[in-house]
Structure formats: structure tokens, C-alpha cells
Amino acid sequence: MSNWLLRNVTILGAAPTDLHLADGVIAEVGRGLATGGAQVFDAAGLVALPGLVDLHTHLREPGREDAETVASGTLAAALGGFTAVHAMANTDPAADTAGVVEQVWRLGRDAGHCDVFPVGAVTVRRRGEQLAELGAMADSAARVRVFSDDGHCVDDAVLMRRALEYVKAFDGVVAQHAQEPRLTHAAQMNEGVVSARLGLTGWPAVAEESVIARDCLLAGHVGSRLHVCHVSTAGSVEILRWAKAKGIRVTAEVTPHHLLLTDDLVTGYDPVYKVNPPLRTAGDVAALRAALADGTIDAVATDHAPHSLEDKETEWGAAAFGMLGLETALGVVAEAMVSTGLLDWAGVADRMAVRPARIGRLDGQGGPLEPGAPANVVLLDPAATVTVDPGSLASRSRNTPYAGMTLPTRVVATFLRGRPTVLDGKPAESGGPGGGR
């Protein structure tokens, strides 16, 4: 069992203290703790947060192991400071049965880089025609609580209603990819001034907002939990604010890229900027940042979407939607939210660990960093910067929009139940099975 004493660390940016991790839990917190038999880690100047929790990760296994595997994606996650990820269901075959979610969960446990919580598909093969075996997935070893057809919208209102009703039995949540399909037929980028100039088919904000409004009303009607994936427009924020004020049980996430990047980047037709939902305007970015700061948007979720070179580095129209996110998420959030004074480190912990763990109904993730809690911890250096080099990422894919960009903060170490998965910014030597719930 590993036994670590983190000396002079600042928990959530507060005054320096020592943090003793032993037998998988936080054993003690306090100044000048005795070393005992622990390995001592000089953490002066470093900030400790609860291990980050991602609600939205595409690990591509089974089916597209050329783009990512559970092992490569979870190593990327650990390097990004995550101790848990939710693995999206749009694999091949889709994660729509107890068998597939258990397979993904086991692969995650065996790799041991972070906990993997599979998301179950809402409908069979994510085709939007018939509910999948939600109860069987919930009862499986993977204990699924989050269900999503992500990549596709559950656009049939009756199916959406049934799914919302069904998941109540086990306190699950339906995570909607809000995209009205007919309004976005053949859409390539945000509908606006830039799409008009480039002559690309637009993806209008109303296609997202109309689905979110409908689903909030449905969730209110049946009294169930709704989660909105990758919110991207100022109008969506207004609807969420209204729904929360009405007491509707809705939560929402925003991606790092929607907090930093805008649709004018598409002008060069570089498909690295092609993503669904699309990059929006500077006004949308400002509204999303404000909503994350005031809690209207609950969480940051990466939507880490690895794609092979053949699928991504082709002409704009044919390229796949999606961008990498796990290894750069904290740096992008630091740039968009911390450097701007919108969030402090406690706020980052809340939006990237505490609330995502709560939404996913995870035990033992998301803190608090107090004695007795599982020792899931990330140490970051707030004074360091990292220049993103696609060639040195752990992901099997290279489709990062941040190549060459210098981002604030560096993940120095990640501990999963007291065992280092990352030390000095590199994968730690000791592998071994993870565990999970």
C-alpha cells in the first residue's frame, strides 16, 4: 500500500499544510505532520484539488481502438489530473447492454489509470427508436447512472419522456445531446456571420435551445433528473437559468473549448476546429463563462473526442466532429476562468470534481480533501505554464486545437486512492488495478 506525505501543499489554494495519504485514504491533514514511513513529496507552491471527474469522455473502445483505447484515454485523463471519467456510449458496438458497459468498466479497472464509469445508451444502438436496457445496465457491475445517446439527440419527445421516467427508479440521469436534427441537417459550423461568409451550412443556436427548453419542461413534468451535455449558446444559458429558478432538476456542462475558442477560427478551414456543437461567437463564450462562474452551468466536461488522422485531417466537409480535451482541460479552464478572475481554485474544484461526481452519483470521487475520504487528489503548479505539443500527448489521436498554445498551470501529480498515477507530470511507474465503486 502506498504511503505519501505531501508537504506544504495548499488545499484549494488556502494556507500551506501537509496531506498524508495512506491505505487509500486521506489519513491526516495538518501542519508539520510526522514523516513516519511515508514517502515525502515536497509540494511547496502546489495546489491540491480533489481528483478531477469528467462527465463526458469518448474512449472509443470497443470499435475504434486506432483512435483511442480505454488504456490510452485513461492515461491521458490521469495526466490531465482526472481520477474518474464517464465513458460515452457511442462506441461500436454501442454501450447499450449490460455486457458492453461491463466490458468497458473492466478495461478501465485493469488499466488502473483512473476510474471508468460507463455511460449507457438511452436507445438501442443509439438509433432513437426504442429504449435500451437501462435497468440492466444500472444493475450491472458497472452500476450505470448516466445515460446518453451523445453524438445523437434523443429527439423523439415520447422516448425522452419514457427515459426520464425510467431512470428515476435508480436515481439515474439522462444526459441529452441537444440538437434538433432537422434544423441542423448537413450543418458544418455555427450559423452566423462567419458561416455566411464561408458558405458553409450553419448549425443555428435555436437547434440546441429548442431541445433544451423542451427537455427542461419534460423533466419538470415527470420530476426527473436531466443533464444537458456541452451547452454552447447564450440562449441555452437563459433557458437553464429559468428552469433552475422553477425548481426543475436540470444540470449542465460546458466544454473547455466552448469557454475559449470562437467560430472565426473556422476561417482557415482547418478541421481541427470542427466540433459538435460548433464553436460559437465571442458573445456566447462570455455568457458561458459567466454561467459557469455563477453556477447556472454546473460543470466542465471535456467531450474528449479522439479521431484518427484519416478521419480528421481531410477536407472540412468530410472531417469528423470533435477535439481532444483531457490533457489540456485544466490549462484551458485556468486560462478562461482563473486568469480572468471568474473562478478561484475552490471554484475549479467544485466545477471539475465536486459537482460532476454528484451528477454521476459517484461515491468516493469529488472530495472532500478531509481525513477518511478516499485519497483521490491532483497536485497542480499554478505558476507553471505548458506549451501544448500534440506529439507528446498520451492520447492515441492528435486532434488538439491547442497545438503550440501556452496554457497556465501544470499537472504535477495525480493520486488514485493514494497511489500515484502521475508523478512530476509523467506516468507513474506503479501500475495496477484501479477498482471503482
Name the residues that contact ligand DOR, by CB under 6 A. Answer: 58, 90, 150-151, 177, 275-276, 305, 321-322
Shortest approach of ligand DOR to residue 232 CB, angstroms?
11
User: 67 or 75, CB closer to ligand DOR?
Assistant: 67
The total of other beta-carbon atoms located within 10 Å of residue 392's CB is 8
C-alpha 3/C-alpha 159 separation (Å) is: 50
Q: 250-262 in b/e burial notation, b at 16+ Cβ within 10 A?
A: bbbbbbbbbbbbb
Distances (CA, A) of 328 to 275, 289, 380: 16, 17, 13
Provide the β-strand partners of residue 253: 299
Shortest approach of ligand DOR to residue 229 CB, angstroms?
7
- The crossing angle, in degrees rounded to 10, of helices 157-167 and 205-222 is 50
User: 10 or 276, CB closer to ligand DOR?
Assistant: 276
Q: Closest residue (Cβ) to ligand DOR?
A: 322
C-alpha 380/C-alpha 51 separation (Å) is: 11
Shortest approach of ligand DOR to residue 298 CB, angstroms?
19
C-alpha 180/C-alpha 277 separation (Å) is: 11
Would you give the end-to-end CA distance of the chain in angstroms? Answer: 19
Shortest approach of ligand DOR to residue 321 CB, angstroms?
4
Q: In the block, which residue shows the cell 480528421?
A: 312
Catalytic residue among 284, 303, 311, 381: 303
User: 154 or 377, CB closer to ligand DOR?
Assistant: 154
Q: In the block, which residue shows the cell 432538476?
A: 249
Residues 6+ apart with CB under 8 A from 100: 62, 91, 93, 94, 118
The total of other beta-carbon atoms located within 10 Å of residue 276's CB is 20
C-alpha 382/C-alpha 40 separation (Å) is: 21
Shortest approach of ligand DOR to residue 407 CB, angstroms?
21
User: 143 or 177, CB closer to ligand DOR?
Assistant: 177
Torsion of CA 186, 187, 192, 196, to 10 degrees: -40
- Interstrand relation of 189-190 and 202-203 (parallel, antiparallel or unpaired): parallel
Shortest approach of ligand DOR to residue 60 CB, angstroms?
8
Q: In the block, which residue shows the cell 483512473?
A: 114
User: 17 or 262, CB closer to ligand DOR?
Assistant: 262
User: 51 or 322, CB closer to ligand DOR?
Assistant: 322
Shortest approach of ligand DOR to residue 305 CB, angstroms?
4
Helix or strand holding residue 412 (H, E): strand 406-416
Q: Which three cell numbers stand for residue 76?
A: 491521458
Residues 6+ apart with CB under 8 A from 291: 231, 237, 240, 241, 254, 297
Active site residue 303: yes
* 173, 239 Cβ separation under 8 angstroms: no
C-alpha 370/C-alpha 377 separation (Å) is: 11
Would you mind telling me the total number of residues written for the chain in this entry? 437
User: 177 or 289, CB closer to ligand DOR?
Assistant: 177
Shortest approach of ligand DOR to residue 190 CB, angstroms?
13
User: 208 or 335, CB closer to ligand DOR?
Assistant: 208
Catalytic center residues: 303
